[in-house]
Structure 1
């Protein structure tokens, strides 16, 4: 498993950088957005497969969590109910859970933001949900169009969510740093008067498509 130092290093990179560094893989769909864009997130995936408009398995999953986990909930994209709110936020915090990513809705947004708990979701719904249907915990799920396995590393920021296989963390950190260094050099060259066409060697492309 990745070390805490590795997780902190990974979190320091933007999700866009990580996505590019691992071959443009692992990015959740853009409809998964942060409730509070100022909050960043990194941790191990604790996955939940739950029935639409039912949060029984979410309550159960919190009791199975380890400190440092991030809840990844496949809520089937259901938008007419908010299976997560302020009570579950407090329960998750007390269990040491780092944050929530749900392909579904949440509610009690103002309280959650004030609490400082990172939440990424499709949006908001004030409607209540049931607590009656079965589901599964710690199994592969689909969230935001991406397969997430238990123990995958989840990184979130203002731009979105990216999933990293734990076995690739060291490699992704190295590639992310290389990309950051390359972009730093590009910024310096732009300050010196270079153009992006020059730096990215785009003139041949423009000529090929007849723009030049």
Structure 2
């Protein structure tokens, strides 16, 4: 009989490191655009220290205000994993400076907490360890359990599977399922290259539109948008 709500799956199927590394430097916005603009994480979850994040989702489902299994997950996670934590409530923090330092020293790629952290000053100064969270709360957690490790979870309005590719920057976060990662990557790279070419044009004073004029006018025509020559009369 399965003890649902108190389970630890010790292994996950990780994407190839080469595939993960190709997401480094790609803006989350470009990735999200090529997932039809509905898969970015809710804006309430923000970067706590401005560092970009790329890695493999090592998921946790914790009860409100309790981080017992977060300590266990730090033991089980492999270098390059991102601890992605679904948790209820904002009344307690789930981790602070010491846990961040320990995780960084183990090679864990970062934290994503759908809740609060503490020690924000130290977090902002911590090198090479990106942290994303909803907020800051000095009140610490309990360690009673239960909880689950490496099960599908919901974070910031999105479903996250163990082994998903996690990409984060100052704009926000996106999770890419590894079965879809190669296709999303190819499209995001193409968009990023296109945008970089436009930047070069704009830096030289150019005026090439970033959105097709033909498509713009076609869309306005379908809306029967009225174009009135002159000023609005009060």
Instruction: Find out whether 1:115 has 2:126 as its counterpart.
Output: yes
List per-residue Cα deviations over 1:166-191 (Å, max 9, x = no partner).
Answer: 12222122111221233345446664
Post-superposition offset of 1:108: 0.3
Task: Confirm or deny: 8 A CA contact 1:22 1:175 kept in the other structure.
Answer: no
Please report the TM-score for the alignment, with normalisation by the length of structure 1: 0.90
Instruction: Find out whether 1:204 has 2:218 as its counterpart.
Output: yes
- Over 3 Å counting, the alpha-carbon distance change for 1:123 and 1:209 in structure 2 is farther
Q: Which moved more, 1:145-154 or 1:5-14?
A: 5-14
List per-residue Cα deviations over 1:111-158 (Å, max 9, x = no partner).
Answer: 122122211000101111111121010111111111111111100101
SS at match of 1:12: coil
In structure 2, runs of 5+ residues without a counterpart are 1-13, 228-234
Mapping for residues 35-184 of structure 1, pairs under 5 Å: 35-37=48-50, 39-76=51-88, 78-116=89-127, 117-184=129-196
- Over 3 Å counting, the alpha-carbon distance change for 1:19 and 1:195 in structure 2 is closer
How many matched pairs? 210
SS at match of 1:82: coil
In structure 1, runs of 5+ residues without a counterpart are none
In the aligned structure 1, how far is the partner of 2:164 from the partner of 2:15?
Answer: 10
In the aligned structure 2, how far is the partner of 1:17 from the partner of 1:199?
Answer: 21
Larger Rg: 2
1:192 aligned residue: 206
In the aligned structure 2, how far is the partner of 1:206 from the partner of 1:196?
Answer: 17
RMSD across aligned positions (CA): 1.9
In the aligned structure 2, how far is the partner of 1:47 from the partner of 1:143?
Answer: 10
